[in-house]
């Protein structure tokens, strides 16, 4: 309710309740002022908050799954370069005409998904060893991949039409601006598939945290689980990046906070982290669009400012544990 209230125009709680009551009861709007308020609430703020909830929840679920699968507390789609790979795929689609609604709603997430898959395959090939995944190789590979993908995106932006290039740059900073309900339905379809796959593997993720050999001895088909989780994380990351740009560190911050609160049982951790991630990004987006109102800070900038120090803390803590 508070996220609906605040923006360039502050709307009273009583007005919000009145508008939603009118909509639920299918009553006619009583005045021009209320009509404008209804448009702001239902056509601008509500779709944006729903998009924020879907994006934040999905990124948190992806972070939880990658951290369990790789047994690496620093695993996150933005840190590992997966988001940058998805962004490159989406940028290629945008450059070659993802402007019409049919094309953008259908092909843009697919191109982003393919970019995320390419990034995952490269990361997996570089960092995998007989004993698991090297944490520092994983991080270095993610950083290098992100740099390469960012350079390619910058090149594509430089050769694009100026108007399209400006839109691509704004989108790459992470933006939840301007979603409509058809867009949300398509996004929910993609994310719903990914969440169902991850949810079905929750118990296997619990066992994989013990190590691959231990999981195999307990009956887990490790390679099958890996393929399913990688497919779901690539699908969800691609869909999120296609519709909101690159929003980093949500999949790093939220899983750690929730894990500290409720433990590491993924049957609970996945759904609760998803709800927490969605709520977290709604709050962050509200701050981003109100703190400098009427100007707006890209939500990806805010999550980076919050998540960057958390990432450094976790990295130093991990290093201290390895030394001791």
pLDDT of residue 192: 95
φ/ψ (deg, to 5) at 133: -120, 125
pLDDT of residue 114: 92
The closest alpha carbon to 259, from 309, 205, 213, belongs to: 205
Q: Please provide the DSSP assignment of 159-173 as one string.
A: HS-HHHHHHHHHHHT
Do the Cβ atoms of 197 and 183 come closer than 8 Å? no
Do the Cβ atoms of 47 and 180 come closer than 8 Å? yes
Q: How far is CA 56 from CA 7, 39, 197, 275, in A?
A: 20, 25, 18, 8
Q: Please provide the DSSP assignment of 189-255 as one string.
A: HHHHHHHHHHHHTHHHHHHHTT-HHHHHHTT--HHHHHHHHHHHHHHHHHHHHHHH----SHHHHHH
Q: How far is CA 138 from CA 53, 75, 127, 209, 252, in A?
A: 29, 9, 5, 17, 15
Distance CA 144, CA 150 (A): 10
pLDDT of residue 320: 57
Distance CA 89, CA 115 (A): 5
Q: Record the tokens describing residue 254, joined without a space.
A: 């939220």
pLDDT of residue 10: 76
pLDDT of residue 265: 93
Do the Cβ atoms of 308 and 249 come closer than 8 Å? yes
Give, for all 324 residues of the chain, the pLDDT tens digit: 677 777 777 778 788 788 778 777 765 555 555 577 888 888 888 899 999 999 999 999 999 999 998 888 888 898 888 999 999 998 888 887 655 444 456 678 888 999 999 998 888 888 766 555 666 777 788 889 999 999 999 899 888 888 778 777 877 778 888 788 888 998 999 999 999 999 999 999 999 988 888 999 999 998 899 889 999 999 999 999 988 988 988 998 899 999 989 988 999 999 999 999 999 999 999 998 888 877 888 898 899 888 888 878 877 776 655 444
């Amino acid at each position: 309710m508070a996220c609906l209230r605040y923006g360039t125009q502050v709307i009273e709680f009583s007005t919000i309740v009145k508008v939603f009551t009118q909509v639920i009861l299918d009553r006619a709007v009583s005045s021009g002022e209320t009509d404008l308020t209804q448009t702001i609430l239902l056509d601008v703020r509500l779709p944006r908050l729903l998009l924020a909830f879907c994006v934040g929840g999905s990124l948190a679920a992806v972070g939880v799954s990658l951290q369990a699968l790789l047994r690496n507390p620093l695993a996150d789609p933005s840190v590992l370069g997966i988001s940058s790979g998805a962004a490159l795929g989406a940028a290629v689609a945008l450059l070659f005409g993802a402007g019409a609604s049919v094309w953008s709603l259908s092909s843009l997430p697919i191109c982003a998904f393919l970019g995320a898959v390419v990034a995952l395959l490269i990361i997996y090939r570089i960092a995998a060893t007989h004993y698991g995944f090297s944490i520092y190789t994983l991080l270095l590979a993610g950083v290098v991949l992100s740099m390469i993908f960012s350079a390619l995106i910058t090149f594509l932006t430089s050769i694009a039409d100026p108007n399209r290039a400006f839109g691509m740059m704004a989108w790459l900073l992470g933006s939840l601006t301007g979603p409509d309900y058809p867009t949300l339905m398509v996004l929910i379809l993609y994310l719903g598939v990914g969440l169902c796959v991850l949810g079905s593997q929750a118990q296997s993720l619990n066992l994989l945290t013990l190590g691959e050999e231990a999981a195999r001895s307990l009956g887990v088909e490790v390679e099958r689980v890996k393929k399913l989780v990688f497919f779901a994380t690539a699908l969800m990351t691609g869909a999120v990046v296609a519709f909101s740009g690159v929003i980093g560190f949500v999949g790093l911050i939220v899983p750690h906070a929730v894990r500290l609160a409720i433990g590491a049982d993924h049957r609970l951790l996945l759904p609760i982290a998803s709800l927490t991630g969605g709520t977290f990004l709604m709050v962050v987006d509200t701050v981003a669009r109100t703190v400098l109102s009427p100007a707006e800070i890209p939500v990806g900038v805010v999550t980076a400012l919050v998540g960057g120090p958390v990432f450094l803390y976790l990295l130093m803590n991990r290093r201290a544990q390895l030394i001791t």
